[in-house]
Amino acid sequence: MYSYALLEKSCYYLIQEKEQGPIGLIRVNMETDYCMYVSSYAETELTVWKKKSDPIFDILELLGDDKVKAWESIYNDSQDTYNYEEDEE
């Protein structure tokens, strides 16, 4: 078992919080003495506080800059698909 305390600020990680849980992409935005402010990316972005002692089943990988840029391009394109304005009548 791992914990959020092992993660570094401003980095993107692929993690699995629970043994049979899904793989998720997170980014550590801020760190305090006891907590981490973390963005989790799925259909939408969710930003939450996590205790440094909160368990993580597996840290699969730290994403490099090239992988983050490729992911951002795909993620932003898919978000634009849903962000359209309807014509006003």
DSSP assignment of 28-61 equals: EEEE-SSEEEEEEESSSEEEEEEETTSEESEEEE
pTM of the model: 0.81
The stretch 33-57 carries a mean pLDDT of 95
Helix (H, G, I), strand (E, B) or coil at 3: strand
- Per residue in 23-43, pLDDT (tens digit) is 999 999 999 999 999 999 987
Do 31 and 9 touch, CB atoms closer than 8 A? Answer: yes
Structural domain boundaries in the chain: 2-82
**More confident of the two residues 44 and 20:** 20
